[in-house]
Amino acid sequence: MVIKIGGSRKRTRHKFKKHIRRKGKISLSKYFQTFENGDFVSIKAEPAIQTGSYYVRFHGRKGKIVGKRGRHYLVQVMDGSVAKKLILHPVHLSKIQVTKAAAASK
């Protein structure tokens, strides 16, 4: 039998890499940021924190906050025509502004 090589972070050397000027300690406000249900967020990994991360396919996607699980948030992301829910740490999320027309289409 063939053995699977690599884990969930395979082929992510450049994708999850941090820019040289962003290296160092992360800000506490970014780590403890809060969101409301219905907020739209962008998903970008914080490489220093592996907890509550996601599969590489969802990197750079937009999603909607639909709930909370402890300190983590339940984010709904469209994968093609299928809605998928991810449990993510807030350090990997950033709030984005979405127009009413774009929000109505989702």
In SS3 terms, the chain reads as CCCCCCCCCCCCCCCCCCCHHHCCCCCHHHHCCCCCCCCEEEECCCCCCCCCCCCHHHCCCEEEEEEEECCEEEEEEEECCEEEEEEECHHHEEECCCCHHHHHHC
Could you tell me the residue ranges of all domains in the chain? 30-105
pLDDT digits (tens), the chain, 106 positions: 889 888 888 888 888 888 899 898 989 999 999 999 999 999 999 988 888 888 889 999 999 999 999 999 999 999 999 999 999 999 999 999 987 776 666 6
- What's this model's pTM, rounded to 2 decimal places? 0.83
- Select the CATH number that applies to the domain covering 30-105 from these four: 1.10.1380.10, 1.10.1530.10, 2.30.30.70, 2.60.120.560: 2.30.30.70
Question: Residue 28: its pLDDT value, please?
Answer: 94
For residue 53, what pLDDT is reported?
86
Average pLDDT, the chain: 90
